[in-house]
Each structure stands twice: as structure tokens, then as C-alpha cells.
Amino acid sequence: MTMLKKKITNKDGNLKSGQNELFTNPDADAAREFFRTKSRALKPKLSTVEEVVKNYLHDGDYIGIGGFGAIRIPTAILHEIIRQKKKHLGFAGHTSTHDFQILAAGECFDKCDIAYIVGLEARGLSPNSRRYIESGKVKITEWSNATLSWRIKAAAMGLSFLPARNLMGTDTFKYSASKEIICPFTGQKYMAHPALYPDFAAIHVHECDVYGNAHIYGASVSDQDLAKASRYVVLTTEKIIPTEKIRQNPEATSIPFWCVDAVVEIPYGSYPGNMPYEYFSDEEYLRKWLTIEKDPTEFKKFIDKQIFGTKNFFEYLELNGGMEKMKKLRAIELLYDQK
């Protein structure tokens, strides 16, 4: 067995590298220098969507978005990013679906790390997102869901890479920025995936206190690692809870306060996405969005009305059915018949 592995090592004496651009610096010491200066203070961090996007996100920054495309997404932050016309962002397209649609509508990013983009899973492909990527305006590097998860995990661990056993032998690897390495213990070939330290992350949670100690229920995707890996972290939350509730059940804390820079309370903040145990996704609205995207002129009018024409997330909710709609989506989520 050992001999066989040695043979393989010799055969591929020149280890391969992915040829595409690495958009972020994987250097762990550079990250430590930043984290050395990050506030550890247990202080109230309540803010507004407008302020956090203005203060923590700058043109050219690299961003990561929590949740899973149309599940537990920080919709209000995404809308505000395009309202404030942020440009030249780098974006982690990690299972991105509706979040990608919104940012693509504003042409906010021009660099994209791709695991999953331009689609909405079983709902179909997004015509506008495809037009944007097919235009060649966006620099792209290919990865996969596990690779982006592990790149974020490497950063969360304070490292510059993690070894793994995926991507090998494929074009996904060829157009990535990973590198083959040899395990110093076994001689086995691995992929070295570079750590991903985003400048900014926005994550929507079920509940948190004013300091940013947060509870996430349901699948957490990569959000605990994303909160640790990112330089600035903004939480939007369904509701603010007293710190006593965190302290009564400390093993349930998903994200601790020292990762978090700002907290914004936004009930129904994942709409039109699903919020596990609270409300289901608005499938009718997501279908409508996909249909309107087919016609660029109509889509521009739609975005003008939905995002630029609403002054904040609450107006956006009102425009799309308000509390009455939310009640319906709660019934779907909780599997009861609405009377």
C-alpha cells in the first residue's frame, strides 16, 4: 500500500496548481494583525441597516453572505448594498441563489468565487444572473461547496490553508486557485485549499442579544465559521433577546459577541427566503422574480420599485403583502392549515 502511494507521488513529481486568480489574501499573520485590533468589548452594538452598510462595507471589499441562498439570508443588508450602489466587490458564491440575484441586479461585484451561482435549485436558472456572468464583466474562479466551506473553516482556525481530497483531476480544479500537495506523513496527494478571510459578512439569525451573542436554529451551513473568518460581521436578527437567555443555555450559542460588530433587529428579515421554524420561502414571489428577469427593461422597473422605491425593509415587506403574507408563510412553514 505504501509502495503504491510512493509510486503515485513520484509519477506526479510536479504537483499541479489551479490557474485562476485568488481574490483574497490567505496569510494567517495578516489576519492576526487585524484580529489583534478587533474590539473584544462587551458593549451594545445595535445599529441600522443604512449605517452598517455605510460604515463597514467599502467599494472593492470581499463579502460573504450567511445562510443558504434563499434560506436564512440577510435580505435587508443585500438590498441596502445595492441601494448604496457598492461596486467592485468580491463575492463568495457559496450556495448563493437569491442573494446572488440581488447583488447581480445591482452589478455590485466584479470578482466571484464560484461554488454555486446563477441558479435557484429546483426553481430553475436566473436569466439576469446568467446574463451578468456570460457578459464576461465578472472575474471568476471555480470552487465547490465543500471547498468554500473548508476555505472559510481554514480562516476560522487561523490558518492559511486546509488539505482535502476533493477537486482532484477535474476542470473545477484547473480553474480554481488550489494547489496539490503531498502529505508529509503518508505520501498521499491532497488539495491545499487557501484560507478565505472576507472583509465583511452579513448573517441573519433567529435571535441574539444587543452584544451579538446569537442563536441559529436549523442547519447552520457555514455560518459559525464565516462569523469567525470575517473581519467585520453584521448580524440581522428576527428578534433581540435578553442576555440572560444566552447565559441560561450557553451551549446553544452559535456566534459569540467578539465576532460581531453590529446588530440590527429585522423581523421577517429573511423574506422572501425561508426562516427555519418561523416562515417558509415565498415561492410565488421568487417565481415572479425569475419570470420578470427574462426581460431586462421590465426587470429594471421591478428592481426600481422593489428596492430603490422602498426606503427600507419594512416598506418592502408591505409592498409584498405585509403581515398578512407573513402569516401565510408561517402556516406553510409550521405545516398547519390556514383558515
Partner 1 sequence: MIKYNQIELMICVAARNLEDGATVVVGTGAPCAAAMLAQKTHSPNLCILFEAGGVAPNLPAMPISVGDSRTFHQAIMASSMPEIMETCQRGMIDYTFLGGAQVDMYGNINSTMIGPDHSKPLVRFPGSGGANDLASLCWRTMMMTIQDAKRFTNDIDFITSPGYLQGGNSRYEAGLPRGTGPYRIITNMAIMGFDDTTKRMKVLSVNPGYTRKDVQNNCGFELIWADSIAETHEPDEDELRILRGKVDPDRYIIGR
Measured from the CB of residue 222, what is the shortest distance to partner 1 in angstroms? Answer: 5
| CA within 13 Å, CB half, 326 | 15
Among 54, 83, 111, 123, binds partner 1 (CB under 8 A): 123
Cα-Cα-Cα-Cα dihedral sign, residues 51, 68, 307, 240: negative
The C-alpha atoms of residue 92 and residue 105 are separated, in whole angstroms, by 16
Contact 145, 94 (CB under 8 A): yes
Of the candidate spans 28-36, 123-131, 305-313, 322-330, the one that interacts with partner 1 by CB under 8 A turns out to be 123-131
The C-alpha atoms of residue 338 and residue 173 are separated, in whole angstroms, by 49
Among 11, 36, 40, 339, binds partner 1 (CB under 8 A): 11
Interface pattern 266-295 for partner 1 (x via CB under 8 A): --------x-xx--xx-x------------
Residue closer to partner 1, measured from CB, 153 or 204: 153
Residue closer to partner 1, measured from CB, 86 or 206: 206
Among 128, 144, 178, 213, binds partner 1 (CB under 8 A): 144
The backbone torsions φ and ψ at residue 90, rounded to the nearest 5 degrees and listed phi first, read -95, 145
Q: Does 192 bind partner 1 (CB under 8 A)?
A: no
* Residue 82 three-state SS: helix
* Residue 19 three-state SS: coil
Among 57, 65, 118, 262, binds partner 1 (CB under 8 A): 118
DSSP conformation class of 195: P
Residue closer to partner 1, measured from CB, 220 or 306: 220
Measured from the CB of residue 37, what is the shortest distance to partner 1 in angstroms? Answer: 28
The residues facing 265 across adjacent strands are 237
Number of residues that bind partner 1 (CB under 8 A): 69
Q: Does 172 bind partner 1 (CB under 8 A)?
A: yes
Start-to-end CA distance of the chain, whole Å, equals 66
Q: Does 12 bind partner 1 (CB under 8 A)?
A: yes
The amino acid at 74: P
The C-alpha atoms of residue 338 and residue 316 are separated, in whole angstroms, by 24
The C-alpha atoms of residue 303 and residue 298 are separated, in whole angstroms, by 9
Of the candidate spans 84-92, 117-125, 232-240, 298-306, the one that interacts with partner 1 by CB under 8 A turns out to be 117-125
| Helix axes 49-56 and 75-83, enclosed angle (nearest 10) | 60
Q: Which residues bind partner 1 (CB under 8 A)?
A: 8, 11-12, 67-71, 93, 95, 97, 114-119, 121-123, 125, 130, 133-136, 139-140, 142-147, 149-150, 153, 164-172, 175, 180, 188-191, 217-225, 274, 276-277, 280-281, 283, 333, 335
